Chain A
Amino acid sequence: MPSPGETVPFLDPYPGRSGILSWIFSTDHKRIGMLYLWSILTMFAVGVVIGVLMRLELIAPGRTIMGAQTYNAMFTLHGVVMIFLFVIPGIPAAFGNILLPLQIGAEDVSFPRLNIFSWWLYLTGAALAVTSLFTGGGPPDTGWTFYVPFSERTTTNVSLAVVAVFILGFSSILTGLNFITTIHRLRAPKMSWGKLPLFVWSLYATAWIQLLATPVLGITVALVFIERLLGIGLFDPARGGDPLLYQHLFWIYSHPAVYIMIVPAMGVVSDIIPAFARKSIFGYKAIAVSSLAIAFAGSLVWAHHMFTSGMSDTAVMVFSFLTFVVAIPSAIKVFNWVATLYKGSIYLEPPLLFSLGFIFLFSAGGLTGLVLGSAGTDIHVHDTYFVVAHFHYVIFGGTGFGLFAAMHFWFPKIFGRMYDRKLANASWYLLIGGFNMLYFPMFIIGLMGMPRRYYDYLPMYQTGHMVSTVGSWVLVAGLVTMFWGLSKCFHGPRTVGRNPWGAATLEWTLPSPPPHLTFLDPPDEVPSPYSYEGVKRDD
Chain B
Amino acid sequence: MTEHHKDYLGDKFGMWLFLFTEILLFGGLFLLYSVYLHRYPAEFHQAGLELSRVFGTANTIVLITSSFTVAMAISALQQGRRVLCQGLLASTIVLAGVFMVNKYFEWSAKIGHGIYPGSPELVDGPGGTNIFFGLYYVMTGAHGLHVVIGAALLGFCMLRIGQGRVTADDFGLLENGGLYWHLVDLVWIFLFPLFYLIS
Contacts and interface: CB of A to CB of B under 8 A. Distances in A.
A239 B13 contact: no
Contact of B21 (A112, A173, A245): A173
B174 interface: no
Contacts of A231: 117-118
B138 A215 contact: no
Give the bracket for the number of chain A residues in contact with chain B.
35 or more
Nearest to A239: B130
Nearest to B7: A185
A173 B14 CA distance: 11
Given A215-B24, A231-B117, A239-B123, A184 B130 contact: no
A249 B11 CA distance: 31
Interface stretch (A38-46, A103-111, A130-138, A453-461): A103-111
Nearest to B126: A240
A20 interface: no
Majority SS at the chain A contact face: helix
Interface in B5-39: 5, 7, 9-11, 13-14, 17-18, 20-22, 24-29, 31-32, 35-36, 39
Contacts of A27: 1
A233 B25 contact: no
Majority SS at the chain B contact face: helix
B21 A517 contact: no
Nearest to B22: A215
A293 interface: no
Interface in B26-64: 26-29, 31-32, 35-36, 39-40
Given A184-B13, A232-B137, A215 B25 contact: yes
A232 B134 CA distance: 6
B138 A211 contact: no
Interface in A200-244: 211-212, 214-216, 218-220, 223, 226, 230-234, 238-242
Given A111-B14, A232-B117, A240 B32 contact: no
Given A216-B24, A232-B137, A107 B4 contact: yes
Given A216-B28, A218-B25, A226 B138 contact: yes
A245 B131 CA distance: 13
A33 B132 CA distance: 45
A186 interface: yes
Contacts of B40: 240
A231 B123 CA distance: 10
B12 to A, nearest CB: 10
Contacts of A239: 122-123, 127, 130-131, 134
Interface residues of B, number: 41
A219 B118 contact: no
Contacts of B4: 107-108, 112
A30 to B, nearest CB: 11
Interface in B116-155: 117-118, 122-123, 126-131, 134-135, 137-138
Contacts of A185: 7, 9-10, 13
A429 interface: no
Given A14-B1, A234-B32, A240 B130 contact: yes
A334 to B, nearest CB: 31
B123 A181 contact: no
A430 B96 CA distance: 62
18 contacts: A108-B4, A110-B10, A173-B21, A180-B17, A181-B13, A212-B24, A215-B24, A223-B138, A231-B118, A233-B118, A234-B131, A238-B127, A239-B130, A240-B129, A240-B131, A249-B28, A249-B32, A520-B2
Interface of B: 1-2, 4-5, 7, 9-11, 13-14, 17-18, 20-22, 24-29, 31-32, 35-36, 39-40, 117-118, 122-123, 126-131, 134-135, 137-138
Shortest beta-carbon contacts, A-B, top 9: A240-B127, A232-B134, A219-B28, A230-B117, A185-B10, A215-B24, A215-B25, A231-B118, A232-B117
Given A218-B25, A231-B118, 11 more contacts: A14-B1, A181-B13, A185-B10, A185-B13, A212-B24, A215-B21, A219-B25, A223-B138, A233-B131, A240-B127, A242-B35
Interface of A: 5, 14, 27-28, 107-108, 110-112, 114, 173, 177-178, 180-181, 184-186, 211-212, 214-216, 218-220, 223, 226, 230-234, 238-242, 245, 248-249, 252, 516-517, 520
